[in-house]
Structure 1
Amino acid sequence: MQKPSIPKGTRDFSPEEVAKRNYIFDTIKEVYRLHGFRPIETPAMENLSTLMGKYGEEGDKLLFRILNSGNFLADIDAGDLTEGNAARTATKISEKGLRYDLTVPFARYVVMHRNEITFPFKRYQIQPVWRADRPQKGRYREFFQCDADIVGSDSLLNEVELVQIIDEVFTRFGIRVCIKLNNRKILSGIAEIIGEADKITDITVAIDKLDKIGPDNVNAELRSKNISQQAIDKLQPIILLQGNNREKIATLQNVLSDSETGMKGVAEIEYILNKVDAIAPGSELQLDLTLARGLNYYTGAIIEVKALDAEMGSITGGGRYDNLTGIFGLPGVSGVGISFGADRIYDVLAQLNLFPEKSTHGTDILFVNFGQKEETYILSLLPQVRNAGISVELYPEPAKMKKQLSYADSNQIPFVALVGETEMGNGTISLKNMKTGEQQSLTLFQLINKITS
């Protein structure tokens, strides 16, 4: 008999794990909702014409394709099956694929529903995505994204709001974070000033390693990319940028004074920092020029969040993009968005023991089953308990008391209720606290008050 298994890079989640994940999703959803974001959902599968060419050559290789239903080989001839025709064959036998992220489906959604949408449009989306990546620790083929985007508005107040959301979510989780900010226009300005505008990617990739390899090795890497010594000398104030956010901005204003693009980026960062300061967030905000995520994608602000008390990569990221919908024929729709890394947040909450106790247990009270007469009596009580918002179970058969208590223990049910002949006679319930062993005789009203308080 074949042993059951699941595909590599996917996971089963136990009731406890699902409860913890739902705590993460519910917290993020609630903060999104409080800021006026509205939920949408898109199909798990999209037409490959929607997905292909949007993530670069590497991304196209990581798309999970879905075979056409029915006789998918009907239109294939012998010539299609030769090695050189693999790509053409793939398009004939597969027209759909699993979504790779939530951003491209969102762009497609905005274009298809543009006559129903009022701009600016604030949406959030919490759904799974699939990537045919090589599975490894912390990297899965199926995982959730928790995105929020504002499209159809160029206002930097949107960036300010997203920083607020990040701060509020992590405050609720109890995770201390540093919110790092940069701006693509600053990076473009730097490359322009040093006369190496076409080497922006090489420059940012090298600068990104500053913390790990130090300034001397960064300079050596820049030389290896054929960046002139004169340009490297001009880069030094940037590479060695020190001080608080205001001091960094002053240095940048000085260094980038001849670059209109660079100065615009500095002004945008300064605006965001000033507005966020007025809100007085609990999280640290840091201007960090080594931040260069999504360079071929972001056009303005770049945001990344690091946990301060746990060894973990970025746990949230995002930024401003100027032409989300242009790929689908609706140019000029600017947007800005963030995505919380639910799996990494889960690991940080677990590492720091920050999951609330209430998030993991499902049932509040188990009623012990003594027999048919008691069953009937208890069944009449259960709706009143549930109407008070208390989750309650009646054990399904009159098994031995030890077995029923063991069930409560295994499922982390904090209270067990006992109703026998005596209790039915005087209208009480014996409530046992499974942690302390303490037992009390209570009326139904008293029991409900005790649990809800």
Structure 2
Amino acid sequence: MSSLKPSLPQGTRDFGPATVRKRSYIFNTIRTVFERYGFQPLETPAMEQLETLMGKYGDEGDKLIFKILNNGLGDPKNIEKARKAFEKVLDGKNDKDLTERALRYDLTIPFARWVAMNHGQLTFPFKRFQMQPVWRADKPQKGRYREFYQCDADVVGSQSLLNEVELAAIYRQSFQLLGIPVEIRINNRKILAALAEVCGGPEKMTDITVAIDKLDKIGLEKVKEELAQRGLLNDQIAAIEQYLNIAGDNQTKLETLKTLFANNETGLKGIAELEYLLKYPLEAHSSELTAQNSQLEAQSSPLAALNIDLTLARGLNYYTGTIFEVKATTAKMGSIGGGGRYDDLTGLFGVPNIPGVGISFGVDRIYDVMEELQLFPNDVHAGTKLLFFNLGDAESRTAFGLLQQIRAKGIPAELYHEHAKFDKQFKYAEKKGIRYVAILGSEELASRQCKLKDLSNGQQTTYSFEELLQFGF
């Protein structure tokens, strides 16, 4: 009988203890910031009804949704239904006889579904954060996986642009705490809608944004080719190219846009929303600052933190206002965060007029960036701090009593699992990165003392049991 070679599905990963600790460091840092801003935790199921997800992410996104086969296909009647349904799927059509459910593609649509189901019990504006895995049938590559975690923060039930300001501040503060230098890019879908109106009408919006969203990957010429394939005329493509070539600082871009969309109400509204966002300081300021310094900081800090990027489109159909994207400035990586405003997402589920805005952190990419830049603190690996050597039955029983008292103080500690030679127990401590070992032999047992050795410097000191319990590990 041949043995099966263990393997993982492509685009998924196992995480060992060291990796889990580092990932927990990222999760805990972001969670701390979310809670500072008044966001509450939420979790939704790994699977959703297929109809909940389909049609919400555009044609490109729909192709990446992992569909789940119906259970109960062992019934001959169900098998025949599934066979006929599969033929429809091959023609590009979905059929409930084959699949009714799918793994969630992101956290935003499930959240909108949850709000639609529970809106009568919520106090608005409702602020939630969510940290769970999502799945996409994408081509695996560096920084892109088929199973990965997202950390989202959303505010629903408010049209106030102050929510965008706070979400931008959450981005800035979180990445400062993680030590990652980032650029926070912003744009506004109303500006892109105005561009579509200039280039043939609102129905061109999806074609334009999907193509522009690929600019970083395929370059301007390929984007122009795709726009032509999508039916845009040469003069319309030229207008889009002119828009994409707008350069300068934030103020220059805004002034150029005002000229470009001088007669377009939608475009001017999008410009005004960007101006509002840029007026707010995103960093804390000392109360000792003079009024003049405070004013200067308020003018300069946001401009340093937020950069208008008119090529930013975020191809998801549900965005309607400000959109965000975050990129690390000192590492080669795609976006490590993104989001935006969606003014009627719950309307897709029969509950209209609940506006929202949200952001997402790409934890897996953030992890890769922090590894590349060596940003994890040294103590992130810390697990067990103290190991009691096992030197016999009587000794181990006394050691276990001390061990339990030390654990009760919140200190991670272990007793070696069996009586063994010193060398073996020392190697165990070294391989696990345990700093302190406690040696309690027959002599120490008689005198109610314990030898404590610091493996980081080799120093060994004898303590009474009482002194050991008070030691600051």
TM-score, normalised to structure 1's length? 0.89
Question: Is the aligned partner of 1:287 residue 2:308?
Answer: yes
Residue 113 of structure 2 aligns with an amino acid whose one-letter code is R
1:374-415: per-residue Cα shift (whole Å, max 9, x none)?
111111112221222210001011111111111111111122
Q: 1:125 aligns with which of 120, 123, 130?
A: 130
1-structure distance, mates of 2:117, 2:427:
55
Report what 2:360 is aligned to. Answer: 339
Report what 1:21 is aligned to. Answer: 23
Residue 315 of structure 2 aligns with an amino acid whose one-letter code is G
Structure 1 residue 76: Cα displacement: 3.5
Q: SS at 1:114's partner residue?
A: helix
Report what 1:55 is aligned to. Answer: 57
Query: Relative to 1, partners in 2 of residues 1:282 and 1:33: Cα closer, same or farther, differing over 3 Å?
Result: farther
2-structure distance, mates of 1:291, 1:12:
33
Give 5+ residue unaligned stretches, structure 1. none
Report what 1:268 is aligned to. Answer: 273
Structure 1 residue 232: Cα displacement: 6.1
2-structure distance, mates of 1:202, 1:51:
21
Report what 2:456 is aligned to. Answer: 435
Q: 2:117 aligns with which of 112, 135, 139?
A: 112
Question: Is the aligned partner of 1:101 residue 2:111?
Answer: no
Structure 1 residue 6: Cα displacement: 2.8
Question: Is the aligned partner of 1:189 residue 2:191?
Answer: no
Report what 1:393 is aligned to. Answer: 414
Task: Let me know the Cα RMSD of the aligned residues.
Answer: 3.0
Give 5+ residue unaligned stretches, structure 2. 285-300
Q: Is the 8 A contact 1:31 1:165 kept in 2?
A: yes
Report what 2:387 is aligned to. Answer: 366
Question: Is the aligned partner of 1:4 residue 2:1?
Answer: no
1-structure distance, mates of 2:95, 2:214:
39
Query: Relative to 1, partners in 2 of residues 1:223 and 1:62: Cα closer, same or farther, differing over 3 Å?
Result: closer
Q: Is the 8 A contact 1:80 1:86 kept in 2?
A: no
Residue 457 of structure 2 aligns with an amino acid whose one-letter code is T
1:247-288: per-residue Cα shift (whole Å, max 9, x none)?
322222232221111111011011011023575479731011
Q: Is the 8 A contact 1:196 1:227 kept in 2?
A: no
1-structure distance, mates of 2:94, 2:226:
42
Query: Relative to 1, partners in 2 of residues 1:89 and 1:274: Cα closer, same or farther, differing over 3 Å?
Result: closer
Query: Relative to 1, partners in 2 of residues 1:195 and 1:448: Cα closer, same or farther, differing over 3 Å?
Result: farther
Q: 2:260 aligns with which of 241, 255, 259?
A: 255
Q: SS at 2:246's partner residue?
A: coil
Structure 1 residue 354: Cα displacement: 0.8
2-structure distance, mates of 1:437, 1:63:
56
Q: SS at 2:410's partner residue?
A: coil
Alignment of 1:54-93 (within 5 A): 54-76=56-78, 78=80, 81-82=83-84, 84-86=87-89, 90-93=95-98
2-structure distance, mates of 1:209, 1:117:
38
Query: Relative to 1, partners in 2 of residues 1:59 and 1:192: Cα closer, same or farther, differing over 3 Å?
Result: closer
Query: Relative to 1, partners in 2 of residues 1:429 and 1:253: Cα closer, same or farther, differing over 3 Å?
Result: farther
Question: Is the aligned partner of 1:178 residue 2:183?
Answer: yes
Query: Relative to 1, partners in 2 of residues 1:229 and 1:133: Cα closer, same or farther, differing over 3 Å?
Result: closer
Residue 351 of structure 1 aligns with an amino acid whose one-letter code is E
Query: Relative to 1, partners in 2 of residues 1:447 and 1:307: Cα closer, same or farther, differing over 3 Å?
Result: farther
Q: Is the 8 A contact 1:171 1:282 kept in 2?
A: no
1-structure distance, mates of 2:426, 2:386:
11
Report what 1:300 is aligned to. Answer: 321
Identical residues among aligned pairs (%): 52
Report what 2:332 is aligned to. Answer: 311
Equivalenced residues, count? 452
Question: Is the aligned partner of 1:407 residue 2:428?
Answer: yes
Q: Is the 8 A contact 1:179 1:283 kept in 2?
A: no
Query: Relative to 1, partners in 2 of residues 1:278 and 1:383: Cα closer, same or farther, differing over 3 Å?
Result: closer
Q: Which segment drifts farther, 247-256 or 156-165?
A: 247-256
Query: Relative to 1, partners in 2 of residues 1:355 and 1:99: Cα closer, same or farther, differing over 3 Å?
Result: same
Structure 1 residue 102: Cα displacement: 1.5
